[in-house]
Amino acid sequence: MKKTLKKIAAFSVACVMTLSLTACGEDTANIGKIGGEEIPAGIYLYHATSVYRQTALQKTEEQATVWDVTVDGKTAEQHITDETVMRVKKLVAVEKKFDELGLSFTEKEKDYYKASAENAYKQSEESFAESGIGLDSFTRIVENDAKYAAVFEAYYDAETGIEPIKTSEINKYLKDNFARIELLEVSLKDIEGNLLKGAEKEKAINRAKSYVKRADSEDFGALVYEEYNVLLKSMAEANGTEFTKVEYKPEEVEEYTFEQIVDMNEMASNFPSTVKDEILSHKADGKAFLIESSDCYYVVKRHNILEREGIVDTYKATVLQALKGEEFAELETKWAEELDFEWNEKSKERYAPKKLKIAE
């Protein structure tokens, strides 16, 4: 079972940070114990740098330093310590639950996660080393992300889950929140961003209306290329260069090239709200329709998302996260809270928040 690392984007955050001390000291190689298991200081330091950076983002102009920030009534120093310990406990809690459920990775999966960690580590090896974050600690963090995904699936998988989410629920969420569309934009602006006027505007509008009439009987890709060539010609004329038409070769185009699977909850940030609303309100019947806005006309064909081969499997993890992500996060917190963390007092002093040195 191939899993996606849900926190890979966090690597870069840790990579750019350094700490004033390393974790290789004989008495401070571990940060403490959970259930008798010694926890490498590198795991703690990785999360501490991330929490520090997130806390610093909350600093206002009136606050001189991050240490003036308060989070949920706590000083920044206490918040960084408490949140970092909680993240370490969550890591261990996920590992324990993974084992408790009898889950495992194949050798191929283990090699994949190990290689992923090694590649990411090598990219910023100096920063990691200076931070006291060894490769073993980093690899464990990467594997933990995969274990989190595996435990999540073990809880909610439609066929084998502890609390299974029915396929019908996944299908309904897909239909209600995603759109499978072909979309062609006809801009009502010139290449400098100015709104078209008069005859030029009318020309663009008529072109969009023509595409709508033709879209149900012609190759949508051919229409996309046609409009693209209109843009290229306008650019050539504006720049005084020769226009070279781009030929459309359907035999070289892969299936679904001109289709988009759009999360309508995110689409609002990229398109006017009216576009989102009209797409959602329109039947997924594959018939072309026109959406008008002040600066663009949209030629759209909405298709039945469930009729696209493999779509449910492709988006199952995304949908499950949307449906059960918060609930599972609460479970993870509950498991973590049941664990006792015993400090290594020397490490607690050595890696105190105010001793973190963050690279500029």
Task: Verify that 163 and 184 share a domain, yes or no.
Answer: no
Residue 52 lies in a domain: yes
Residue 2 lies in a domain: no
Would you state the torsion angle of the CA atoms of residues 59, 63, 67, 69, taken in this order, to the nearest 10 degrees? -50
Instruction: Name the β-bridge partners of 240.
Output: none
pLDDT digits (tens, 9 = 90+) for 290-323: 999 999 999 999 999 999 999 999 999 899 999 9
pLDDT number for residue 359: 52
**More confident of the two residues 105 and 128:** 105
Task: Verify that 32 and 150 share a domain, yes or no.
Answer: yes
Task: Verify that 162 and 236 share a domain, yes or no.
Answer: no
pLDDT digits (tens, 9 = 90+) for 137-162: 999 999 999 999 999 999 998 888 99
Task: Verify that 70 and 110 share a domain, yes or no.
Answer: yes
Residue 203 lies in a domain: yes
Nearest to 278 by CA among 262, 257, 258, 259: 262
Domain of residue 149: give its range.
Answer: 8-167+313-355
Say how far apart CA 223 and CA 248 lie, in whole Å: 9
SS in 3 state form for the chain? CCCCCCCHHHHHHHHCCCCCCCCCCCCCCEEEEECCEEEEHHHHHHHHHHHHHHHHCCCCCCCCCHHHCEECCEEHHHHHHHHHHHHHHHHHHHHHHHHHCCCCCCHHHHHHHHHHHHHHHHHCHHHHHHHCCCHHHHHHHHHHHHHHHHHHHHHHCCCCCCCCCCHHHHHHHHHHHEEEEEEEEEECECCCCCECCHHHHHHHHHHHHHHHHHHCCCCHHHHHHHHHHHHHHHHHHHHCCCCCCCCCCHHHCCCCCCEEEEEHHHHCCCCCHHHHHHHHHCCCCCCEEEEECCCEEEEEEEECHHHCCCHHHHHHHHHHHHHHHHHHHHHHHHHHHCCCEEECHHHHHHCCHHHCCCCC
pLDDT number for residue 265: 81
Domain count, the chain: 2
Residue 208 lies in a domain: yes
Residue 62 lies in a domain: yes
Residue 3 lies in a domain: no
Task: Verify that 273 and 328 share a domain, yes or no.
Answer: no
Task: Verify that 139 and 203 share a domain, yes or no.
Answer: no
pLDDT digits (tens, 9 = 90+) for 231-290: 999 999 999 999 999 999 999 999 999 999 998 887 655 677 788 889 988 999 999 999
Residue 360 lies in a domain: no
Res 18 pLDDT > 70:
no
Task: Verify that 213 and 125 share a domain, yes or no.
Answer: no
Q: Are 288 and 180 in contact (CB under 8 A)?
A: no
Residue 259 lies in a domain: yes
Task: Verify that 275 and 133 share a domain, yes or no.
Answer: no
State the average pLDDT for the chain: 90
The CATH number linked to 302 is 3.10.50.40
Task: Verify that 260 and 326 share a domain, yes or no.
Answer: no
Say how far apart CA 89 and CA 181 lie, in whole Å: 43
Task: Verify that 52 and 158 share a domain, yes or no.
Answer: yes
Task: Verify that 251 and 213 share a domain, yes or no.
Answer: yes
CA distances from 326 to 16, 146, 240 (A): 29, 18, 56
Task: Verify that 187 and 82 share a domain, yes or no.
Answer: no
